[in-house]
Structure 1
Amino acid sequence: MRYLSLESMSKLATSMTTRDAVRKHQDTVLKALQSERDVSVRMRAIDLLYAMCDHTNAKTIVEELMSYLQKADYGIRETLVLKIAILAEKFALDYAWYVDIILNLIRYAGDYVSEEVWYRVIQIVINRQEVQGYAAKTCFEALQAPACHENMIKVGGYIMGEFGNLIAGDPQSGPMVQFQLLHSKFHLCSATTRALLLSVYIKFVNLFPEIKPHIQQVLQSDHQARNPDQELQQRSIEYLKLSNIASTDTLATVLEEMPPFPEKESSLLSKLYQTAPWTAKLHLDKAAAPAKPVELTVSGTVTPSVANGPSPQKPQTTPTTSLIDTTPAPVAAAQPPPPPTDPNTASLLVDVFATPSLQPAPHPLSLSSLL
């Protein structure tokens, strides 16, 4: 019964007429998420929170989902990570908060953070100048942990390679400190991540010319120049040659900051549709409702959403009688007035939670009595 109730409320949460009534039960749903033993009921509670989330309660819901993520069943963590990332991006009023949420996702469930998630945060940071310094500082602090997930090294290395100069003025995060911090993680990573770090090192040659000899020493070491991995060997040799023969102006041109990414919608919804089609459909149904909050695009601009409501009817003109045809024009039938709508939308929830009986129930069941 609790499962069906939460599932029905998830669908009601996508409707403008019942959304406010469903939102009144937010605290009860959060309590069920933390205390319910049945994993299927907890999944429906997550779906309901995802469906009822908007700009007024996004911070509370995202933080509660983050708290639950640390003890969630392993089978649902990937889907939960995707939902948190989508909500954090969709309803973020502060990009610093969004960066913190994504980095915490990597801390708590790094194995379940897909490439689409950390690709997305890099795109948004590159396209938003006001958050670049904060992102570089936050990633630098995150990498100081004794044990870092490899996705954290990827995100931190990429962002520091682009914007490490914004925090280099602090002696505690100077150029050499940044390089040594990243290189201390180098031998613990896969070949793909090491290839990314080599690209970060050559970026440091352009950002911090004073540490160029230290980086060249790493690039020309036997471990890199004779690496059995062809990609790592090729990058080491090419980057070393570039740092030796290229002038300062050439390096500045070749290794300049990444340009802003073209404006496009997030690919996280497509990823969520692959893992949880029913939940993704909830999001699409909610997106089609009118009065949708503004969304953040990859370019960082705020894109107003257009309500996908019914198209307005064209005004009907009174038909006239033809001068040739003597048949009078048909008269449009009078339309009956629409039935009055019940302002109490909570009655819809009563139908969902009421138990069928031959005799009328004295009181409708409430959500708190079911969860």
Structure 2
Amino acid sequence: MSKFTTNGIFVFDKIFFEQLLQKWTVGVVRNLRDLTNSPYSPEYDIAGITDPFLHIRLLKLLRVLGEGDADASDSMNDILAQVATKTESNKVAGNAILYECVQTIMSVEDNGGLRVLAINILGRFLSNRDNNIRYVALNMLMKAVTVDAQAVQRHRTTILECVKDLDASIRKRALELVYVLVNETNVKPLAKELIDFLEVSDYDFREDLTAKICSIVAKFSPEKIWYIDQMLKVLSEVGNFVKDEVWHALIVVISNASELHGYTVRALYKAFQTSAEQEILVRVTVWCIGEYGDMLVNNVGMLDIEDPITVTESDAVDVVEIAIKRHASDLTTKAMALVALLKLSSHFHSCSVRIKEIIVAFKGDFVLELQQRSIEFNSIIAKHQNIRSTLVERMPVLDETTFVGRRAGSLPGTASTTTTPSVSLPNGVAKPVAPLVDLLDLSSDDAPAPSSSGGDLLHDLLGVDLSPASQQSGAGQTFKNGPDVLLDLLSMGSPSAPSSSSTVDILSSSASNGAPVSPLNDLSSLSLSSRATSNAGAAPMMDLLDGFPPNPSTENNGPAHPPITAFENSHLRLTFDFSKQPGNPQTTIIQATFMNLSTDAYTDFVFQAAVPKFLQLQLDPASSNTLPAAGNGSIMQNLKVTNSQHGKKSLVMRIRIAYKINGKDTLEEGQINNFPRGL
């Protein structure tokens, strides 16, 4: 059954080796059984257990023999069960044997009954007074939960008690275990226990506990109203420990829950009365009052579970005024409060004078961002009543599905995607990126320079990584019903250049040299310094503030540029034709033509684009949202691009094409770098 090789090395054949292992296993099991059942022997007795050191060595040997061997594991089941049940756990020696026995049970081949017995032993360890034993048990349960989560769930109550332990190491390990145990069926009781513990938890432990609670609530929330309720409890208790991406996500959920807008703003108003010291709660409250303040005052959307409250317009303004005048409020909170006041000025006519006074009070603020916002907002209130309601209308609903997908690193429901970094959704704080800061009209605490992965609404929407030559994050805008006034309000793609003029000069309708400037160019930007727009980029904003002139003629009197194939694969082709406006070499009219080369028609066809900040992009509505198959028709869409660096920098564009094939979502993305020179 064995042989020598030509070089003299002794080699066992497989059958002989298996028989040898089985023989060893039987011998070890017999010795362990004799040791377990042996009578009292004073020379080997330790705390009532005969030779615990030999017990441990035999159990370790069984672990080696049983790992990966079903037959050997089966032959040792009985003795392992006997050791687990007969060994006393009130002595250190007994606990050492039980721990080794659990290690062996979890290492040998599958036996459900033994595993449950081992996990129950660990559950008893959690009730031990010795911190070391409890910590060891938590470590073992972390490994066991991947094998038999149901058995570990039975000890959930004991594990929760360990979260409240005085020992920091045990608290942290127990919290990690609870986090793993949470699922859709037990999220409500576990979240309640953890939130209740927040109030009495140690200061050093709150950050970790808060992060875990927020993650649990967001991941397993059964309904939006429960999610909002739990997050409000967290914000009220430990709002200052909540991370930026968490409250950004909360605002995304709130904006999507249209039926809960009234309920949410009322709940935040009541929470603010008792927890105004929590900075993050103040921010979310201010944002919601700015968006849904009219619903708060008029008790819109009352639910059966609510008690009616009476809130006047003055009461709502009081909240925002308190937030903006709090000594502890930072730049982001004050900037959000100014935006909220501007929005309320369009709805709360009885408080219009008071709102204006609060805004004007910041005209001389030492923080340039607040000073600039104050002057610009005051200009809107005083001089542009005819368009103010349009400028400050409610923010569009944020795409919750896309946001969740981007947090996971990809967009859901797509057939093809590009590799892009996962970007969390900011809401006024750029640390380190702020893809939706312009959309939400908020400001950065530290206002870092824009990165290639954030800074604008459509940049975040498309997840683009624009040309490094621009050194700017992408920006663009897509319209289904033509451009509207929000294009310039949000400063999307609007070029900017440094200016030495003061903030007051920026608000004038034209500069000293006669070139028009943009009073609202920086209304929603992250810049903390005054800026004036270039001549080419200022015209759209002047149209916004001083009326809307007729569309300029698009007759092509400029030099001809050859068409290009902007995007092409096996089933889709996109071509660009170019024309110029007379007397305006910076502006290019692009006619995009989409051709379907496949045998299936494309429905719900949507084209989106993003460009660097030295470009300004405007998209007209597409000719159709259905693209016929086999080239039997096309979709036309016009783009207008203004290049503020004309003659210095070439056009570059990031595109995203979404459509459905037989009801299945498909996504195409790409970057266009082959524009003709001179555009």
Question: Fold conserved (TM > 0.5)?
Answer: yes
Output the amino acid matched with 2:294. Answer: N
Structure 2 match to 1:125: 254
Distance 1:268 1:175 in 2: 41
Larger CA Rg, structure 1 vs 2: 2
Tell me whether 1:8 sits opposite 2:125 in the alignment: no
Q: Pairwise mapping of residues 19-168 of structure 1 onto structure 2 (< 5 A)? A: 19-34=149-164, 36-145=165-274, 147-168=276-297
Q: State the AA in 2 paired with 1:243.
A: I
Q: Structure 2: which amino acid aligns with 1:192?
A: T
Alignment of 1:210 with 2:343, yes or no, is no
Q: 2:403 aligns with which of 255, 264, 268?
A: 264
Partner Cα distance (1:271, 1:12) in 2: 34
Q: Matched residue of 1:258: which SS?
A: coil
- Unaligned 5+ segments in structure 1 are 273-371
Does structure 1 retain, via aligned residues, the 8 Å contact 2:199–2:237?
yes
Can you list the C-alpha shifts for 1:162-205, whole angstroms capped at 9, x where unaligned? 11111211572122210022213322122331111011000101
Q: Is the 8 A contact 2:321 2:358 kept in 1?
A: no
Q: What amino acid sits opposite 1:214 in the alignment?
A: R
Given that residues 10 and 48 in structure 1 are in contact (C-alpha distance below 8 angstroms), is that contact kept between their aligned partners in structure 2?
A: yes
The answer as to 2:350 corresponding to 1:252 is: no
Alignment of 1:227-238 (within 5 A): 227-238=365-376
| Distance of 1:137 and 1:236 partners within structure 2 | 27
Moved over 4 A (4+): 266-272
Q: Deviations over 1:259-298 (max 9, x none)?
A: 12232227599999xxxxxxxxxxxxxxxxxxxxxxxxxx
Per the TM alignment, residue 62 of structure 1 is displaced from its structure 2 partner at its CA by: 0.7
Structure 2 residue 366 is the aligned partner of structure 1 residue 225: no
- Aligned partners of 2:237, 2:358: CA distance in 1, in Å? 32
Shift of 1:110: 2.5
In the TM superposition, what is the alpha-carbon distance from 1:153 to its structure 2 partner?
1.1
Q: Distance in 2 between matches of 1:41 and 1:168?
A: 48
Structure-2 separation of matches of 1:2 and 1:87: 24
Task: Show the counterpart of 1:193.
Answer: 333
Q: How much does 1:61 deviate?
A: 0.7
| % identity of equivalent residues | 28
- Paired residue type of 1:114: K
Distance in 1, Cα, partners of 2:240 & 2:146: 31
Inter-partner Cα distance in structure 2 for 1:2 and 1:20: 20
Bigger shift: 168-177 or 52-61? Answer: 168-177
In the alignment, the residues of structure 2 paired with residue 229 and residue 154 of structure 1 have an alpha-carbon distance, to the nearest angstrom, of: 19
Deviation per CA, 1:312-352: give whole Å up to 9, x if none.
xxxxxxxxxxxxxxxxxxxxxxxxxxxxxxxxxxxxxxxxx
Unaligned runs of 5+ in 2: 1-132, 300-308, 410-421, 425-679
Write the letter of the residue equivalent to 2:398: F
Q: Find the residue that maps to 2:184 and give its secondary structure.
A: coil
Deviations 1:203-258 (A, max 9, x none): 1012323322221122223xx1111111111001100101122234x223211211
- 3-state SS in 1 of match to 2:268: helix
| 8 Å CA contact retained: 1:116, 1:268 | no
Residues 254 and 261 in structure 2, CA contact (< 8 A), matched pair in contact too: yes
Quick one: distance in 2 between partners of 1:167 and 1:207?
A: 12
Higher relative contact order (CA 8 A, sep 6+): 1
Q: Structure 2 CA distance, aligned partners of 1:2 and 1:126? A: 44
Do residues 243 (structure 1) and 381 (structure 2) align?
yes
> How far has the Cα of 1:112 moved from its partner?
1.3
CA distance in 2, matches of 1:207, 1:14: 55
Partner amino acid for 1:25?
H
- Cα distance change of structure 1 residues 157 and 235 upon mapping to structure 2, 3 Å threshold: same
CA distance in 2, matches of 1:246, 1:159: 24
Counterpart secondary structure, 2:274? coil
Equivalents in 2 of 1:11, 1:254: separation in Å?
56
Q: In 1, are the aligned partners of 2:324 and 2:338 still within 8 Å (CA)?
A: no
Distance change (3 Å), C-alpha of 1:151 and 1:268: farther
More helix by share: 1
For 1:173, the aligned partner's letter is V
Per the alignment, in what secondary structure is the counterpart of residue 256 of structure 1? coil
Give 3-state SS (helix, strand or coil) of 1:228's partner.
Answer: coil
Distance, in Å, in 2 between the alignment partners of 1:137 and 1:240 is 28
Contact in 2 for aligned 1:10/1:52 (Cα 8 Å): no
| Residue pair 1:132, 1:163 contacting (<8 A) in 2 also | yes
- What do you get for the CA RMSD once the two structures are aligned? 2.4
For 2:198 and 2:407, locate their aligned partners in 1 and report how far apart those are by CA, in whole Å.
22
Q: How far is the alpha carbon of 1:147 from its aligned partner?
A: 4.3
Instruction: Give distance in 1, aligned partners of 2:360 and 2:325.
Output: 16
Amino acid at match of 1:22: V
Confirm or deny: 8 A CA contact 1:110 1:151 kept in the other structure. Answer: yes
